[in-house]
Structure 1
Amino acid sequence: MLRGMLIAVATVAADPADRRGEVAICIREDRKHRGVGWEFLGYIAHYADDHGIETLESIKSRENRAAIELEREMGLTVAMVPDDPTLVLVQRKLGATLAN
C-alpha cells in the first residue's frame, strides 16, 4: 500500500491578466495510465475556469504521445510550435464550452 506517498503534482500558472494559464502535470512513472492525469487535468480545467482564466495551455514534447492524446480527449487542440518542430502547443478555451 502507498499511504502518504506523493504520486503526482499539478500546477497552473496564469498571466497577470488571468487570460491564459499554463498547466503542468507530473506523475510518477509507476502510477501512469491509471487515470491520475485525466483527473488532474479535469480538476485544473474547472479550477482555471472558476478563476476566470480564459485559455488553458501547455507546451509538450512531440514525443509525449500519451499526454497529447489525453489532452485531445479532454478537448484541447494541438498545434505546432513554429520555431521548434520537437514541441507542440496544446490549448483549450474555457468558459461556456467547458464540459463536465
Structure 2
Amino acid sequence: MHLNVQHDSEQDCLTLQFSSRFDFSVHRSFHEACLGERKPSRSYVIDLGEVESMDSSALGMLLLLREHAGGDRAEIRIVNASCALRGTLRVAGFDKLFTLH
C-alpha cells in the first residue's frame, strides 16, 4: 500500500492519494502525514481514485482526521471514489460528515 502526500502551502491544503487498498497498512504513514506533530491544514483532499477496497480501520482514520481538523468546521473532501466505495461511505453515514465528490 502506498500513500502519496502533497501539501499546497499557498492554499494550506493537504492531499492524500491512496493506491489499491486503504486499510491499516497505511496507518503509520497516514498518522505521520496529517495527525502527528503537524498542525491542522485549512483543508484536506482524500483521493480514492486508485483504491479498490477499504476497511473499517480506514473509516476510523478518516474520523480521526476529521476530529484533528476541527470536527464540524473541518473542510475534508473525498474525491474520485468508485461507486462501491461511495456506497460504503454512505452506508456508514460518512456522506453527512465529509464532502463526497
- In the superposition, the TM-score normalised over structure 1's length comes to 0.42
- Structure number with higher helix proportion: 2
- In the superposition, the TM-score normalised over structure 2's length comes to 0.42
